[in-house]
Amino acid sequence: MSRVAILALEDGTVYRGEAFGAEAVRAGEVVFNTAITGYQEVFTDPSYTGQIVVLTYPHIGNYGINLSDSEAPRPYIEGLVVRAWTDVPSNWRAEMTAQQFLERSGTPVISGIDARALVRKLRSQGAMRGALSTAGHSAEELVKMARQTPPMAGLDLATRISTAEPYEWTQKLEPCSPSEHVGLQPRGEFRVVAYDFGIKRNILRCLASIGARVTVVPASTPAGDVLAMKPDGVFLSNGPGDPEPLQGPVGEIRKLIGRVPIFGICLGHQLLGLALGGRTFKLKFGHHGINHPVLNRRTERVEITVQNHGFCVDPDSLNAGEVELTHINLNDQTLEGLRHRSLPLFCVQYHPEAAAGPHDSRYLFEDFASLMKEFHH
């Protein structure tokens, strides 16, 4: 006998389907991801804290779970919405089923709804708050719960999920198969301090692969403590929530600018934008997928990129005399990257570590190595 799951949106729309994952109720912002692979990386991406994720690709669970593919120690999504959930993995690498993985972490799943209709709704009306229950709640209770969920704008989620203690990271990228070329070469030996706002493991592996010894530090670490470690460079990670409430970290980043080379990704890019005097705004439904085209204005090449963000830096809020806009999203013309014209810092809005996804943008890690070399010689 299959269990019933209900997803309710703040506007009163209700979807009924079959329950999988954990028996639980969760609320959050409902967003969609258009990737056709990499569901495990989506589950375990800390940037999805506070969000219920709708996957547009229909078959989810079909290659199981392999713990070495996780981007963090546990899933961070609040809940999952899929068209077809499969619990029979066909993959020699699978260590457990997706059902076992999400059940253990208390994550509810609704399957068997028209996910594409839901995506069209979110695309036209914007991301909405929702509540998902596999534990027998009524539709009325869930609509009420969705409306009581705090909106994503104004939420500081990054400092809540950051590491409590500093730790060292040394593991590098490894090819999945003998034929795969990892594509990152060591460029020397560097000491990098990485701020953890919700960092993904593959970013750390990419940093290690260019020759960095990485110390990961909590989001609230003072700039003075970072400089005392004498780093060759500072990395600002991805993470969830709204960048503007993170006034503490922005103030510390401001003290680091010009003192040490800085590279930021995703939320790290937004925080650098704020530290440089810019503003951020919320996108209508965000960018979540692995095939977003971005123009690199410096090379005139188009990169196919991996994205997961709901906020954006307003390019008009930056001083054009100081800041060069380096990357532009070709779908909606939003800002995807910038660098300072005279100080050693650059950042991108997308995910160059690309797990899962194309490796078009991995060169950015080597650019960071070059910047650290230049600065220290």
Summarize pLDDT for 312-349 with one digit per residue, the tens.
Answer: 999 999 999 999 999 999 999 999 999 999 999 999 99
Nearest to 109 by CA among 222, 228, 24: 24
Identity at 235, one-letter amino acid code: F
Q: 324: burial class by Cβ within 10 Å (0-12, 13-18, 19+)? A: middle
This prediction's pTM: 0.95
Is 351 annotated as catalytic?
A: yes
pLDDT digits (tens, 9 = 90+) for 213-272: 999 999 999 999 999 999 999 999 999 999 999 999 999 999 999 999 999 999 999 999
Domains within the chain, CATH numbers bracketed? 4-148 (3.50.30.20), 158-376 (3.40.50.880)
Percent of the chain with pLDDT over 70: 97
Average pLDDT on 126-144 reads 96
Helix and strand tally (H, E) in the chain? Answer: 10, 19
Q: Which of 29, 252, 303, 353 is catalytic?
A: 353
* 266 belongs to the catalytic site: yes
Catalytic member of 269, 292, 351, 359? 351
Yes or no: say if 83 and 112 are a contact pair by the CB < 8 Å rule: yes
Catalytic residue among 206, 266, 312, 347: 266
- Active site includes 174? no
Residue 179, pLDDT score: 61
pLDDT at position 178 is 62
